[in-house]
Structure 1
Amino acid sequence: MILACTILFSGGAAWAWSGRLGWTFKADAPITSSVAVAGGLVLAGDSVGNLYAVQAASGRLAWSYKGTNSVVGRPSIMGDKVIFAQADGTITCLAVKSGKVAWQYVPPEESYAAETVVDGTAVGENKAFFVKGDGKLYAISAANGKVLWTYDSGLELRSAPAFASGLVLLGEQRGVFSAISPKNGKRLWGGGAGGAINTPSVNGGNVFFSSWDGSVQSVRIKGVVPQWKANVGDPVTTAPFIGGGKVFVGTANGKIAALAEKNGSVLWSFDTQGGSVAAQPVFGEGLVFAGGGQGTLFVLDAASGRERFTFATGGGINGSPAFAGGVLYLGSADGNLYAIM
């Protein structure tokens, strides 16, 4: 396999991030999760249930945990613990430094479809939150993994919840956005769209949520005041990412779109010429990092949407990368975890 890193310059602009490959770590199977960074370690999981902790500085394996099913979503960091989900509904809590198991939630023996988890966890108020194919949002204790409460949406849930501003924020398949009390699982307020809603994001006191009907919305959390609603023209397949005064989303038709954070006006759209964008775009150092369905990482100028760099992997990019300390950490279905500087 040949890896290609193409660096494109225009107008003499100089970027601290250069697109240079720092290291590559080879996993046992395709990387299926998003990437998290904590305590000098890069955390990502693969399709056979391994969670890897790789040293950010060197790319050497610090430790690995062997699970039984695909690791999904982004591992959640809570203090010195990492909590992650597997597709069979198992939620595991490990010590970040050592990989030692603190606890594990194993679903009861019911139908596989009901227990399936297709996205990751969120953490807050000493709880971990996740959704399953049975249509329920679960809150479990971050101390021991015991179920504390459930919220029943009435329809299968496929997008991870988020936790911010003292609320559990949930996008539902039935086109409903819900703000839920983390204490008891009661729905406090919400909104709606014409299609399934992805994982919400929060910035500056506003919650942003996107939908498969092409809409992106912003609502002020305090007072529940709608700010704006826009449409990017394609089904939106990713959670919004907010950075640099803009909101970035990916679409089912292979596009990356940028909207103004203040009013929702569509600023630009970039066509990856590939399949559906599954991974949430990431912003850093004036750049947008977005994985295309064909396995290419596109690095765009956040101001204009112009392509600055491309990095080709040997498989699809199904999980979101992480940008930390000036380094982009990326997982691919080719089984590699990359550090690009």
Structure 2
Amino acid sequence: MKNKIKVIFLLLTLIIGIFTFIMEVPITYSESINGTDWIQFRHDLNNTACTNTTLTTNNGHYWKRSFSPEESILSSPVIYNKKIYFGSPDHNIYCLNISTGQTIWNFMTSWEVHSSGVIYDNKLYIGSAYDFYCLDADTGSIIWQSENTGRLPAIHDGKVYFGDMAHHFYCLNATNGTEIWKTDVGDQTISCPAIFDNQIFFSSGINFYSLNQTNGDILLNFTTGDFVYTSPSIFINRVYFGSNDGNVYCLNISNGSIFWQFDTGYEIESSPAISSGNLYIGSGDGTLYCLNPINGSLIWKNKIGFDIYASPAISNDMLYIPSDNRIFCLNINTGEVIWSWDIGTNRLLSSPAIANGRIIIGDDENEIYCFPLLNTGSQISLDWILLFIIIMISIGGTVAAVIIIIYYLRRKKAN
């Protein structure tokens, strides 16, 4: 009898020990709201529109802010240090808290602000309809102002580059706003320049240009069949852009020769994005294309809406693109729609920015939205897998122990 009690006691001790270990295993979710910043339109100097901010599961937070008058927010936001910066048709430049949407500061200009900004050295550079500003990113206080109608600036090596509506392209000193050079390009410039190998790539009217970054000399002038509103992307010594003539172009950055062109049949105002060795771009009929950037061959296409005028953004092998009144999330490898979010009757016209596990985008009624980058389901971490294995071992061990006890007791009884 004493031996029987000892066996049962040892078994119970073993089971309690196993479950005590289980309860002490740290359980975590594979999630984080910390991610890289989105400091300019199309994210980086090559305009890839690709980042790696971490997805969220249960820490995502959705909010919406409304401003007046109810006009279109065309300024695509930039994100820096968990703050959102964008321009508004109410003449203000806003800085919002990314977690709550509350205003941190606003700066009143004299004109509507449809341009996107760029962050550099803790300063915000952004243009209104008739002026260009450098503001302190933390306080919104003005550092300098220039009488240039700058749109979609880019900054490299202490110099800010942008085109205006008066047919000029500028290079200014980022510290004090003094003009270093300007070049007459013959038409208005709406695209955000891409910078690579001491060259600046952008479109103006129906032409696509490359300028010498040092002195503004024209290195390349390529003419398309219609206006070019898209911002170029650079990948493996090639530059990509779309035109309202319906074509996606791939040019040699050295001499401007055409590697290939892809005809979508509809106007293109959506700028390309590049990720995982593929090119992604939308057309005016609501079709999103995935192309091989080397030869221009079609990998997949998906007609997701009535039209696409905003530009895609990519994070963690997922592509985010607005069309009409919805924002879509697609698998970049297959083009399959993972989810979509309907905002109601308003249209999403600005291009999304992604950082800190969130998507920020504006609509045509002067509203700004924050969407969490949700997973399609629970993301299981290695700790959960370990817990499952331990539980299975515990159950198996318990069953085995019971069988042993029963066998032992029956043998004792038989003897």
**TM-score, normalised with respect to structure 1:** 0.83
Q: Partner letter of residue 211 of structure 2? A: I
Aligned positions of 1:4-153 closer than 5 A: 16=55, 21-29=61-69, 30=71, 31-86=73-128, 88-107=129-148, 119-153=151-185
Q: Partner letter of residue 307 of structure 1? A: V
Q: Give CA deviations for 1:71-93 in whole Å, capped at 9, x if unaligned.
A: 2232111121111111x221111
Q: Partner letter of residue 99 of structure 1? A: G
Q: Partner letter of residue 62 of structure 2? A: G
CA drift at 1:34: 0.3
Asked if 1:330 corresponds to 2:361, the answer is yes
Q: Partner letter of residue 353 of structure 2? A: A
Aligned to 1:4: none
Tell me the secondary structure at the aligned position of residue 117 of structure 2: strand
CA drift at 1:222: 5.4
More strand as a share of residues: 1
Instruction: Write the distance in 2 (CA, Å) between the matches of 1:166 and 1:125.
Output: 11
CA drift at 1:172: 2.3
Q: Partner letter of residue 337 of structure 2? A: E
Distance 1:224 1:158, change over 3 A: closer
Aligned positions of 1:151-170 closer than 5 A: 151-170=183-202
Instruction: Write the distance in 1 (CA, Å) between the matches of 2:132 and 2:168.
Output: 15
CA drift at 1:156: 3.3
Aligned to 1:303: 333
- Determine which of 213, 229, 250 is the counterpart of 1:182: 213
Q: Partner letter of residue 259 of structure 1? A: L
Distance 1:211 1:150, change over 3 A: same
Gaps of 5+ in 1: 1-14, 108-114
Asked if 1:202 corresponds to 2:243, the answer is no
Instruction: Write the distance in 2 (CA, Å) between the matches of 1:200 and 1:64.
Output: 30
- Determine which of 282, 288, 296 is the counterpart of 2:319: 288
Instruction: Write the distance in 1 (CA, Å) between the matches of 2:232 and 2:87.
Output: 23
Does structure 2 retain, via aligned residues, the 8 Å contact 1:125–1:182? no
Tell me the secondary structure at the aligned position of residue 290 of structure 1: strand
Aligned to 1:112: none
Does structure 1 retain, via aligned residues, the 8 Å contact 2:209–2:219? yes
Instruction: Write the distance in 2 (CA, Å) between the matches of 1:71 and 1:248.
Output: 28
Aligned positions of 1:162-311 closer than 5 A: 162-174=194-206, 176-197=207-228, 198-221=230-253, 226-275=258-307, 277-292=308-323, 294-311=324-341
Instruction: Write the distance in 2 (CA, Å) between the matches of 1:221 and 1:106.
Output: 32
Distance 1:67 1:312, change over 3 A: farther
Instruction: Write the distance in 1 (CA, Å) between the matches of 2:292 and 2:56.
Output: 24
Distance 1:127 1:284, change over 3 A: same
Q: Partner letter of residue 300 of structure 1? A: L
CA drift at 1:290: 1.0
Identity between Structure 1 and Structure 2 (%): 22
CA drift at 1:310: 1.5
Which stretch shifts more, 89-98 or 66-75? 66-75
Instruction: Write the distance in 2 (CA, Å) between the matches of 1:32 and 1:43.
Output: 13
Q: Give CA deviations for 1:260-289 in whole Å, capped at 9, x if unaligned.
A: 2332212222223324x2211111122211
Instruction: Write the distance in 2 (CA, Å) between the matches of 1:302 and 1:52.
Output: 32
Does structure 2 retain, via aligned residues, the 8 Å contact 1:72–1:120? no
Distance 1:99 1:121, change over 3 A: same
RMSD between superposed Cα atoms in Å: 2.4
Tell me the secondary structure at the aligned position of residue 69 of structure 1: coil
Does structure 2 retain, via aligned residues, the 8 Å contact 1:278–1:317? no
Instruction: Write the distance in 1 (CA, Å) between the matches of 2:196 and 2:100.
Output: 33
Q: Give CA deviations for 1:16-55 in whole Å, capped at 9, x if unaligned.
A: 4569653333334443300111122111221122111112
Q: Partner letter of residue 69 of structure 1? A: W
Instruction: Write the distance in 1 (CA, Å) between the matches of 2:218 and 2:78.
Output: 29
Q: Give CA deviations for 1:301-334 in whole Å, capped at 9, x if unaligned.
A: 2122222221222422221111123321122223
Tell me the secondary structure at the aligned position of residue 74 of structure 1: coil
Does structure 1 retain, via aligned residues, the 8 Å contact 2:200–2:211? yes
Q: Partner letter of residue 239 of structure 2? A: V
Q: Partner letter of residue 283 of structure 2? A: T
CA drift at 1:225: 6.6
**TM-score, normalised with respect to structure 2:** 0.69
Gaps of 5+ in 2: 1-53, 373-415
